[in-house]
Each structure stands twice: as structure tokens, then as C-alpha cells.
Chain A
Amino acid sequence: DIQMTQSPSSLSASVGDRVTITCRASQSITTFLNWYQQKPGKAPKLLIYAASSLQSGVPSRFSGSGSGTDFTLTISSLQLEDFATYYCQQSFSTPITFGPGTKVDIK
């Protein structure tokens, strides 16, 4: 199984900050890496697919990069509505696996 790790596990940031979250796969997954945002009590929401493609309707302040084993999600200017938990997910092979999540809260 492909193991996914994320760092940091949590971070505190202010509105307007640039935030970067890292995701690492235990083996190469080329660009089969997706990012989701989840708010408390809600279903996850797709932000980025195929490592760097922005899902329709998602603000352009979100961006993704990387390939192989190392990936990043960047929020260029954090907004109030961005405080949430973020998960990476690999779909290179089954079982599909998620990272443990990164919680972004208000400083």
C-alpha cells in the first residue's frame, strides 16, 4: 500500500498569510495526487486534482505542485473561509490512501 504523509499536522496563520502544506508518498505516484478541504461537520471538497489542476469553482489562491513523491498545496493569501483541514490523496493505485490531514486554524 502507498503511505501518504503530510506536514505540518497543524498550523496557525493569519488572514493574508501565504500557507504551504506538504504531502509525501511512500513511492512514486507520478501526478495522481489530489487535495481536499474539509470543514467541521461537512463533507470534503475537491480543490486540486492531478497534482496541479484547479477544480472548477475553486478560488485561484489555491494551487498545487509536485510529481513523483513530493507535493505541495499553497494558499497564496489565506482567507477566513480557508480555515479548515486539508487532505492529500493518492489515486495511483488501490487501495486509495489519504494523508492524515493538516489543520489550518486562526493565529
Chain B
Amino acid sequence: QVQLMESGGGVVQPGRSLRLSCAASGFTFSSYGIHWVRQAPGKGLEWVAIIWYDGSNKYYADSVKGRFTISRDNSKNTLYLQMNSLRAEDTAVYYCARDWGASGVRGYFDSWGQGTLVTVSS
């Protein structure tokens, strides 16, 4: 069955960097767009970024543009989120989510990981 497992979360000081990973299994990873979605404590869902199946296109929320970079290694069935210049408002559970299609355009998120918590605090 489809499985997504995030890792790499933790406590980090403001201004520092962190890289999240999302390991995929149970499906042909290289055929699907994958998203990052986050949820601040007690708050709603916020879409962060999407990367196309082949890594050719990436889109970001304005709140993270220029600071976060989404990437993937299809040979390792793994998605990444490099987070730089972290701020307190980036504190959240970060989920990876599979799109139904290859590009993540006009689709839906049909499988989610369990999430990894990132806390930005001094």
C-alpha cells in the first residue's frame, strides 16, 4: 500500500536551516507530483510547495518562497524540503502528500504521511 514517511523535524533556532525528508513506498514514486503541507499548532492546513513527477516544475506558497526549496530523488523514492532562514511562524507539523497525478495541477491529495514537527525557537 501507499506509504509516505516524513523525518528530519526537530527544534531549531530562528535563522537556522533544516532539511525534511519524505520516504515513499508502495507506488511508482517517479510518476506522481508530491506536495508539502504544514499545520501550525492548533491551526488549519497550509499548502507549502509542489514538485512535479520529474522535478521539472516547482511552486511555492508566498510565505516560504525564497527560503524553502522542494526537491526529489526519484532513484531513492524520496522527497525533500530544505528550509532556510527559519522563523517562529514556520513552527508546524509538516506533511508530505501525494497528488493524484503527475503534476499536482488541478488534482487532490490522495495519500498523506504522518507528519514531522518542526519547532523554531531560541
Least CB distance, B64 to chain A, in whole angstroms = 10
- Are A49's CB and B50's CB within 8 A? no
Closest-CB distance, A62 to chain B (whole angstroms): 14
Q: Does B26 contact A (CB under 8 A)?
A: no
Binary contact readout B5-49 vs A (1 if CB under 8 angstroms, 0 otherwise): 000000000000000000000000000000101000000111100
Interface residues on B, range: 20 to 34
Segment of A10-18, A67-75, A76-84, A88-96 engaged in the interface with chain B: A88-96
A105–chain B nearest beta-carbon distance, Å: 15
Once the chains bind, are B115 and A43 in contact (CB under 8 Å)? Answer: yes
Contact B109 A32 (CB under 8 A): no
Per-residue A-contact encoding for B56-97, CB less than 8 Å = 1, 0 else: 000111100000000000000000000000000000000100
Residues of B within 8 A of A92 (CB): 106
Q: How many residues from A make CB contacts under 8 Å with B?
A: 25
Q: What does the 1/0 interface line of B81-122 toward A look like (CB < 8 Å)?
A: 000000000000001000010000111111011110000000
30 pairs from A and B in contact (CB 8 Å cutoff): A32-B106, A34-B109, A36-B45, A38-B45, A42-B114, A43-B95, A43-B112, A43-B113, A43-B115, A44-B37, A44-B45, A44-B95, A46-B108, A49-B100, A49-B107, A55-B110, A89-B45, A89-B47, A91-B106, A91-B107, A91-B108, A92-B106, A94-B59, A96-B47, A97-B47, A98-B44, A99-B44, A100-B44, A101-B44, A101-B45
Question: B: which residues have CB within 8 A of A?
Answer: 35, 37, 44-47, 50, 59-62, 95, 100, 105-110, 112-115
Residues of A participating in the B interface, judged by any CB pair closer than 8 Å = 1, 32, 34, 36, 38, 42-46, 49-50, 55, 87, 89, 91-92, 94-101
